[in-house]
Amino acid sequence: MVREFFFEQRNHLFTALVAECHDVLSEAISKHGHAVLLVSGGTTPAPLYEALSKSDLNWKKIKVALVDERWVDGSHSASNEALIRRSLLINNARNVEFVGMKTAAATAAAGQAETESRYQALPQPFTLSIVGMGIDGHTASLFPHAPGLAEALSEDNKQLTAAINAVQSEVTGPNTERLTLTRNGLLKSERIIILFTGEDKLTVFGKAQQPGPVEDMPIRALLNQEQAPVELYWAP
Ligand SMILES: O=C(O)[C@H](O)[C@@H](O)[C@H](O)[C@H](O)COP(=O)(O)O
């Protein structure tokens, strides 16, 4: 069951979402002495990250890691690590511990083992994962019918991360080589927040909430489960 939070304006959405992220992370620090925030890339979340970077959280107690990454260098315009460094690891959050996914390996598949060991070293459960959704129903880098998807979605796959080659997707652009949290990696979060905007994506999300193959709309992996509470934050 997804708790849905709809807003008439995006600025109202981001104001509310910053407050929730602040409360969730603060509560985790109070309870566990630390918090783990997993963040996605894309064009939507930067206002959230910029506002969150100014909040008075105890950032020394927080680890930030990626939900997924395009297999490009940190200097590349498509790098999610670069997005996070310029939009979240600034202001009060400028010194927060950050765990990236990209390694020196030539491909995501070759780099996955090193990235997996980085993520296995993160405290579990993760506190909060912020994920987006593409118009094709993907989330993280779990793209419909992509090579590597079945393994990444498998309930038997205990790996936290997987390599995906999103060659079929019409939304990835040239950066099809991806490293992503798996279904089970995502469900290690105490809370998952799905963040997207626009009427078109809301229509797609409504379709994803209907019965159908998870391979057709991989965001269904987050909807058809009882392990991690999921919230949707949406505005037009
Ligand atoms: O690496 C990425 O691009 C993201 O992790 C990806 O999963 C993103 O959340 C969706 O593609 C939505 O992207 P937009 O916010 O740009 O629509």
Q: What is the pLDDT of residues 86-110, one digit of tens each?
A: 999 999 999 999 999 999 999 999 9
- 177 within ligand 1 shell (Cβ under 6 A): no
Mean pLDDT of the chain: 96
What are the beta bridge partners of residue 165? Answer: 177
Contact present, 181 and 161 (Cβ < 8 Å): yes
Tell me the pLDDT tens digit for each residue of 123-163: 999 999 999 999 999 999 999 999 999 999 999 999 999 99
Cross-sheet strand order for the sheet of 177-181:
68-70, 177-181, 161-165
Rounded percentage of the chain residues whose pLDDT exceeds 70: 97
Residue 171 pLDDT more than 90? Answer: no
Q: How far is the CA of 31 from the centre of ligand 1 (A)?
A: 31
- 43 within ligand 1 shell (Cβ under 6 A): yes
Residue 175 pLDDT more than 80? Answer: no
**ipTM score above 0.85:** yes
> Angle at the Cα of 49 (from 47 to 54), degrees rounded to 5?
100
Which CA distances in Å does 56 have to 14, 19, 35? Answer: 16, 11, 14
Contact present, 126 and 190 (Cβ < 8 Å): yes
Main-chain dihedrals φ then ψ at residue 99, nearest 5 degrees: -115, 115
Least confident span in 1-5, 10-14, 122-126, 170-174: 170-174
Question: In the prediction, which pLDDT does 167 show?
Answer: 76
pTM of this structure: 0.97
- 140 within ligand 1 shell (Cβ under 6 A): yes
Residue 169 pLDDT more than 70? Answer: no
Question: In the prediction, which pLDDT does 166 show?
Answer: 86
**What is the arithmetic mean of pLDDT over 51-72?**
98
Question: In the prediction, which pLDDT does 114 show?
Answer: 98
